[in-house]
Amino acid sequence: MGTFPNNFIWGAATAAYQIEGGSRIDGRGACIWDDFCDGPDNCVGATGEVACDHYHRLEEDIELMKQLGLKAYRLSASWSRVLPDGRGPVNQAGLDFYDRLVDGLKDAGIEPLVTAYHWDLPSTLQKELGGWAHADLPQIFADYASVLFDRLGDRVAYWLTINEPWCIVDGGYFHGIHAPGISDVPLGYRVGHNLLRGHAYAAARYRASINGTGQISLAINGGSRRPASDEVADVEAAERAMQNFAGWFADPAHYGDYPAVMRQRLGDLLPDFSTEDRLLLTGSMDYLALNYYTSDVIQSAPGNGAMELEVVAQPKLEHTEMDWPIVPQGLRRFLCWMSKRYPSLPVYVTENGAAMADVPDEAGYVDDQDRIAYLRDHLAAASDAVADGVDLRGYFAWTLMDNLEWSLGFSKRFGLIRCDFGTLKRTIKASGHWYANVIRAGGLEPTEIETGVVQ
């Protein structure tokens, strides 16, 4: 088993809507998740109005990051906190919050990685323009991102434009289970297209800006797609599934267009990029930012959808509270597949973690050995990928603290730190202490690797 390179960046990640709260104060405008969670059946009764109240507790939270020994922290900015209507005048109080956060992190020796858009579109843009379906959204997004680059870019060296465009389309536009709650497949592909254009425009603006000396990318969620058998049809179906999943967004952001198999099979559902858009997209990722939770097994299924495949259940594997099979070696395969298809880009795992059925003791302490096992086995798989030649430079655990898991409200806990949503008290879990040791040691102890399972 391999180890991790020197200067490996050990981090943890969060997102604005999931932790900040303070949704109606200091000039913040509403976002589509505020609206979505107002719908009685959408977020199991939860809203982001308070969440972890990070907006009022950022000093305390940075102190906790220091206790974990984090080298980096991935945060996202709330667009409607910075620009309440999505465009127009800047809300200085909102921008000041991120300025203080970045300063606090730098003072603590923690490298900030800032995501400009983690799903919380300003409501006004949804109501007035129809959100990301509108052809002008990419430019409006780039204008917003530039406000962040100008104000924070002197201290922030790592940027992500957009988090998980696949999830935005799949949850928000194919299945209607995420904001804005629409089920319209052709519209979803248009939205995906505009997300890619928005990423490209923002990346170009960053690189042209005075602060544009760092690295910028977009976070792609994915996993491996293993064939159910050695049959050629299954092997080809699994490869199609990979290209249709991670390749959907990574191919355009690296090569300037969708994978050929998507063009062939989806036809008119995929809009064309203009020549200018292709040029801006090509090479628009300075690094691969990969979010990983689980992997699928795929078999060929002639006639089943455009991709003619189906997912085979993996009942023998343990599942997390999200009902996602636990497949550590899928991370290794995913990292290898991505770095082969998009060579010469450094790789960061920008999210990885597990929702578990945490049971706190009376003091709020959680002895989450199941989460430790998940993280340990995934880190072992990541170190295998390093040994395979993947240029892996960092890993961000999802997530720093329990938070609002979107339409599942506060019912799913992924945190290294427990947040009591009644009192807002934070308590570092066993997994947080364990991760602090990993960071201190620069990797897993050999004895821990030996206990890892292989899937």
Residues that bind ligand IFM (CB under 6 A): 15, 18, 164, 291, 351, 398, 405
Residue 385 CB, nearest approach to ligand IFM (Å):
20
**Contact indicator for 212, 148 with CB cutoff of 8 Å:** no
- Catalytic residue of the set 20, 351, 405, 448: 351
CA dist., res. 328 & res. 361, Å (int):
29
What is the phi/psi pair of residue 417, to 5°? -125, 135
Nearer to ligand IFM, 337 or 414 (CB): 414
User: Looking at beta carbons only, is 273 or 414 nearer to ligand IFM?
Assistant: 414
- Name, in order, each residue with C-beta under 8 angstroms of 225's C-beta and a sequence gap of 6 or more: 238, 239, 241, 242, 245, 295, 296, 297, 298
User: Cβ distance 172 to 118 under 8 Å?
Assistant: no
> Smallest gap, in angstroms, from Cβ of residue 345 to ligand IFM?
21
Active site residue 239: no
Our CB check for ligand IFM shows the closer of 18 and 146 to be 18
- Please report which helix (H) or strand (E) contains residue 289, including its range: strand 288-292
* Cα separation, 191 vs 197, whole angstroms: 10
Cα end-to-end span (Å), the chain: 15
Beta bridge partners of residue 300, listed in sequence order: 309
Shortest Cβ 48–ligand IFM spacing (Å) = 12
351 is catalytic: yes
Question: Is the previous residue joined to 180 through a cis bond, with omega within 30 degrees of 0?
Answer: yes
The CA-based dihedral angle spanning residues 131, 136, 140, 141, taken in that order and rounded to the nearest 10 degrees: 60
Q: Which is nearer to ligand IFM, 358 or 448 (CB)?
A: 358
Nearer to ligand IFM, 73 or 398 (CB): 398
- CA distances 87 to 5, 32, 123, Å, are 42, 15, 11
Q: Which residue is nearest to ligand IFM (CB)?
A: 15
Which amino acid, 215? Q
- Cα 55 to chain centroid distance, Å, stands at 20
Q: Please, what is the minimum distance in Å from the beta carbon of residue 18 to ligand IFM?
A: 6
Could you tell me the smallest distance in angstroms from the CB atom of residue 230 to ligand IFM?
Answer: 32
Catalytically annotated residue among 59, 63, 111, 164? 164
Buried b / exposed e along 146-173 (16+ C-beta atoms within 10 A): bbbbebbbebbebbbbbbbbbebbbbbb
Minimal distance in Å, beta carbon 221 to ligand IFM?
A: 6
Whichever of 234 and 351 has its CB closer to ligand IFM, that residue is 351
Residues linked to residue 163 through DSSP beta bridges, in sequence order? 219
Which residues belong to the active site? 164, 351
